[in-house]
Amino acid sequence: MTKTVLLARPHTFIVSEMKPFLQDGGFSAAKLENMADLATQAKNSVGAVISLALSSSIGVSAADMFTQMRQHSPRMPVLFAAMLDFDAGKSNLTRLAEQVGIQATILGVAAANETAAALGKPDTFFYISKDDLADPARRAIATRMIQRHFR
């Protein structure tokens, strides 16, 4: 049975790039169409992807989406995705963690992080950028990381 990852805050990049990436990693991807479906879809998913883009087809911020997801699935691992590289995106994740009041472990795509004990944990903010998916070597590392994160 295929494990489903919820595209919780879809953005064009998330749907066009992340969905095939997740499928290549052995997961199916379900796009959240409206907030009313969050509880049901979160319950049926092994993890979630939240876009850090300014806009999304779901009209809530990344912080609000994370907070609402935690209400429905407090232990669900989350992956954050954006166009920015890890160094630029890390500050956004640090701010988001402070905003939602957690001490997050922030991981980017790197060979040294492939076996990180933090993968799969609810307080881990795993980050993938568009560049990580465009480079074949980094994409392979990212695939192995999502397989550990969304077990």
> What is the rounded average pLDDT of the residues 79-96?
90
pTM score over 0.75: yes
CB contact set of 28 (below 8 Å; sequence gap of 6+): 2, 3, 4, 5, 22
Question: What is the reported pLDDT for 109?
Answer: 97
**CA–CA dist 90, 21 (Å, integer):** 21
Planar angle of CA 16, 112, 89, nearest 5 degrees: 45
> pLDDT tens digits, residue range 47-79?
999 998 877 778 889 999 999 999 999 999 999
Domains of the chain: 3-149 (3.40.50.2300)
- Please say if the pLDDT value at position 90 is more than 70: yes
- Please say if the pLDDT value at position 100 is more than 80: yes
> What is the rounded average pLDDT of the residues 76-97?
91
Question: What is the reported pLDDT for 1?
Answer: 62
Question: What is the reported pLDDT for 126?
Answer: 97
- Please say if the pLDDT value at position 82 is more than 80: yes
pLDDT over 70 for what percent of the chain? 98
User: What confidence tier does 120 reach under pLDDT thresholds 50, 70, 90?
Assistant: very high
Higher pLDDT, 73 or 2: 73
Closest to 89 in 3D by CA, of 116, 107, 103? 107
Closest to 78 in 3D by CA, of 17, 130, 13, 14? 14
